[in-house]
Amino acid sequence: MALRIEPRWIDIFVEMLGLASPRVGEVAAICSESGSRRVLVELAEQALHRLGLTYYHVIVPTPPPPPGAPLRSTGTSLALAGVRQVIDALASADLIVDVTIEGLLHAPERPELGAKGARIFMIGNEHPEVFERLRPQPGLQELCLKGAELITSARQMRVTSVAGTDLHVQLGNVSGRGSAGATRGPGTFGYWPAGLCLTNPAPGSVSGRIVFMPGDANLTFKRYFEAAVALTIEEDYVTAIEGDNLDGELMRSYFSAFGDRDAYATAHVGWGMNPAARWDSLVMYDKGDVNGIELRAFAGNFLFSTGANEAAGRYSACHFDLAMRNCTVQLDDDEAVVSDGSLRNDLRLEA
């Protein structure tokens, strides 16, 4: 369905783009694809006008799908395709508003886009109602940065659950990341919806067992697990997928379709911080309405991801984001940052 712009959505986008530190007189580039959600492109345009910025559009074709398994969650946009003229047209702006389908967060062109000081603000491929419910919250950015510092200073992470999850992650010499959308300086990157803390582990640092239970979310498939599935992880790689059920069959089939060992490797691990995000929201939308970013960020989740991990020098088109409930996340011997799905008090922001 083509959506009519609601005036209140423009208000939300003005508020949301405020996270990108816009200044009157700056020039913004709206980067989109032929397949982008048009209502988001138009809302970005209306918001930039209201904020007093001059803007222009850079629109590129959405790449054709590769042969083989369908791709709906690559973890990054491939639409810029390294085209020099496109990169130059974007990099000359003060602010790049990213409305590509998958977003430029992990795009290979991102370093060049920010090299001249352009800030990048990525708008998730979501129904505008999601932004309305997850409007920016004062204090969340600071808490996310605190969580990132905890990851950076820790030596190890252990994730457990009563369902049988017991995952060990060595964290030495890795950097934590935490974001609630803000871009506050030249070359910085922000995105919304947001509110999570994570890291890309170094090679050979992740081992153990993960057990998904009904209500956990497979965000690549945009569906909840309806039966138990267990992954065995050895030195970063999924070596076994247990589950005599549809959920297990679907994961085994999709992984194997790529013929790529790195598809099975750990991409990132972390936890959600956003109290406005709901774990149960996926049931209320058709798959084409949302990209599932809300479930990546709901407060107290454990987010496990497979596929591309630039910190480990691994790249794969196969990408799983798997948001879990009721886990405990422990850093070193300190008090758990998440206990049975609940954030520690000093990391908690009331909705």
Angle between helices 7-17 and 38-51 (to 10 degrees): 70
Query: Nearest CA to 26 among 46, 44, 53, 45?
Result: 53
* pLDDT for 1: 57
Q: Are residues 109 and 155 in the same domain?
A: no
Domain assignment present for residue 131? The answer is no
Residue 312 in domain:
yes
Q: Are residues 144 and 81 in the same domain?
A: no
238-243's contacts with Cβ under 8 Å and 24+ in sequence apart are 238/264, 238/265, 238/306, 239/264
Per 3-state DSSP, what percentage of the chain is helix, strand, and coil (rounded to 5)? Answer: 25, 30, 45
- Coil, helix or strand for 334? coil
Residue 304 to residue 207: CA distance in whole angstroms? 12
Q: What is the pLDDT of residues 33-65, one digit of tens each?
A: 999 999 999 999 999 999 999 999 999 999 987
Same domain, 224 and 314: yes
CA dihedral (284, 288, 289, 295) positive or negative: positive
Domain tally for the chain? Answer: 2
Which of 346, 309, 328 has the alpha carbon at shortest distance from 106? 309
Together in a domain, 153 and 97: no
Residue 260 lies in a domain: yes
Kindly state whether residues 22 and 161 are assigned to the same domain. no
Which of 73, 49, 78 has the alpha carbon at shortest distance from 61? 78
Residue 183 within any structural domain of the chain:
no
Q: Are residues 22 and 54 in the same domain?
A: yes
Do 81 and 108 contact (CB within 8 A), yes or no? no
169 and 251 both lie in a single domain: yes
Shared domain check, 225 and 265: yes
pTM of the model: 0.92
Give the per-residue pLDDT at 34. Answer: 96
- Residues of the chain below pLDDT 70: 1, 74-75, 351
Q: For the segment 227-238, what is each residue's pLDDT rounded down to a tens digit? A: 999 999 999 999
Backbone angles phi, psi at 238, to 5 degrees: -70, 115
Whether the CB-CB separation of 9 and 43 falls below 8 Å is answered with: yes
Strand-pair partners of 218: 223, 322
162 and 76 inside one domain: no
The Cα 220–Cα 214 span in angstroms is 16
Question: What pLDDT does 186 receive?
Answer: 92
Residues 311 and 166 in one domain: yes
CATH of the domain at 45: 3.40.50.2300
String of b and e for 1-21 (b: at least 16 CB within 10 Å)?
eebeeeeebbebbbebbebbb
Specify whether 217 is located in the same domain as 290.
Answer: yes
* Sheet strands side by side (includes 95-99): 54-60, 27-33, 95-99, 119-123, 189-192
Q: Which domain holds residue 18?
A: 7-125
Q: Is residue 49 part of a domain?
A: yes
Q: Which two tokens stand for residue 6?
A: 């609601």
Beta-carbon contacts of 190 under 8 Å, excluding residues fewer than 6 positions away, are 19, 20, 119, 120, 121, 122, 179, 181, 182, 183
How open is the CA angle 163-164-170, to the nearest 5 degrees? 130
Q: Mark whether 246 and 200 lie in a shared domain.
A: yes
Question: Residue 219 falls within a domain, yes or no?
Answer: yes
Whether residue 133 is contained in a domain is answered as: no
Q: How far apart are the C-alpha atoms of 282 and 223, rounded to whole Å? A: 7
Where are the alpha helices (H) located in 217-331, listed in sequence order?
246-256, 293-297
Residue with tokens 């791709």: 71
Per-residue confidence (pLDDT) for residue 128, from 0 to 100: 95
Q: Report yes or no on 2 lying in a domain.
A: no
